[in-house]
Amino acid sequence: MILRPFEYVESKTVDDAVAALEAAGEDARVIAGGTALVPLMKHSILRPSLLVSIARVRGLAEITAEGAGGLRIGGIASHWTVSHAALVRERSPLLAYACGRVASPTIRSMGTLGGNLCYGESASDPSPALLALRATVRLHGPAGARTVPLTDFFTGFYETALRGAEVLTDIDVPAMPAGARWRYLKWTPRAQEDKALVGLAAMLVLDGRRCRVARLGLGGVAAWPVALTGAEQALEGQELDEATITRAADVAAGEVVPVDDLQGSAEYRRDMLRVWLRRVVSGLAEGGASSCPS
């Protein structure tokens, strides 16, 4: 597992990075933390001739308040930074919690939130939370800047909506509704450091036991992270009794195509999704999980 020779460019600005990527074409890759990219290079799965570093681009690691309760998180903010930032814990505790569940302390310290999203892995911990929060990503490329809802960002197996020489610069996280209840639950075959077979993030707004808003993000089951929009619709406007929750779990299991690998069969993942959704939604309905200040 020896790295093949490559060139390395350290960008000072996003425009510098975009220019370097555009000049090199498909033979270049962006690097910040490198926790996903470098192992792929060591195994010769990726063989870029040029690495364009954005690790020192000013402003890309900042976390700022946006509007009444929203956040803008720079693409190279580390998982550790996001999980420990007081502003994130206050405004988006679901995201802070999910980032704190990423792999090991070393990976959380080095790996970046933007890099995690660009990797496009199904078993990502932050992705389900950001899908439930209906986050958007800001991309900067040769044609300028554009914004993509995260629900449209993941397009296939390790594939995203990134085009050519684009760089993910920011993640915009809307405000969580007052009184919203949330939970992120992941199932791993052995230790927390393992990739999730099922990672389910939920945010509910309830009026008594009636669900006014349901947002569900899923990782580890399908080939890429997805929002469970069918299950959301099955919950919204309904009393969260056993029949409603079971029906929503069945809808969720039917709206994804589970992967089948050595860690778990497709049927096992589908069954675990049903179990996890019932457990998460039932717990939130009973008030047994965290909630945002009213």
Is residue 69 a contact partner of residue 175, using CB atoms and an 8 Å limit? Answer: yes
State how far Cα 259 lies from the chain centre: 18
**Residues 260, 262, 268, 273, CA torsion sign:** negative
CA within 13 Å, CB half, 140: 18
Instruction: Please report which confidence band the pLDDT of residue 288 belongs to, taking 50, 70 and 90 as the band edges.
Output: low
Question: Which residues of the chain form CATH 3.30.465.10?
Answer: 63-173
Residue from 192, 32, 211, 57 nearest 112 by CA: 32
Say which CATH class 181-286 falls into.
alpha beta
Task: Report the 10 Å Cβ neighbour count for 207.
Answer: 9
Is residue 122 a contact partner of residue 219, using CB atoms and an 8 Å limit? Answer: yes
Per-residue pLDDT of 96-115, as tens digits, reads 999 999 999 999 999 999 99
> What was the pLDDT predicted at 154?
99
Which CATH number is associated with domain 7-53? 3.30.43.10
Question: Which residues of the chain form CATH 3.30.390.50?
Answer: 181-286
| Alpha-carbon gap, residue 93 to 79, rounded angstroms | 13
Q: Is the pLDDT of residue 230 over 50?
A: yes
Global pTM value: 0.96
At CA 203, angle to CA 202 and CA 207, rounded to 5? Answer: 130
What percent of the chain clears pLDDT 90, i.e. is strictly above it?
92
**Residues 89, 93, 98, 100, CA torsion sign:** positive
Q: Considering only 60-69, 190-199, 255-264, which range has the smallest mean pLDDT?
A: 190-199
For the segment 267-291, the average pLDDT, to the nearest whole number, is 91
Instruction: Please report which confidence band the pLDDT of residue 291 belongs to, taking 50, 70 and 90 as the band edges.
Output: low
| Alpha-carbon gap, residue 75 to 115, rounded angstroms | 7
Question: Which residues of the chain form CATH 3.30.43.10?
Answer: 7-53
| Alpha-carbon gap, residue 77 to 136, rounded angstroms | 16
Cβ neighbours of residue 160 closer than 8 Å, sequence gap 6 or more = 117, 118, 120, 153, 154
Write down the number of H helices and E strands in the chain.
Answer: 12, 15
Element (H, E) at 207: strand 198-207
Is residue 108 a contact partner of residue 204, using CB atoms and an 8 Å limit? Answer: no
Domain 63-173: which CATH number of 3.90.550.10, 3.40.50.300, 3.60.15.10, 3.30.465.10: 3.30.465.10
Which position has the token pair 């704190």?
Answer: 100
Cβ neighbours of residue 90 closer than 8 Å, sequence gap 6 or more = none
| β-strands 226-227, 198-207 pairing | unpaired
> What was the pLDDT predicted at 1?
72
Interaxial angle between packed helices 266-285 and 242-254, expressed in degrees from 0 to 180 and rounded to the nearest 10: 150
Amino acid at 102: V
| Alpha-carbon gap, residue 236 to 240, rounded angstroms | 9
Instruction: Please report which confidence band the pLDDT of residue 193 belongs to, taking 50, 70 and 90 as the band edges.
Output: low
Note the residue count of the chain: 294
Task: Report the 10 Å Cβ neighbour count for 66.
Answer: 15
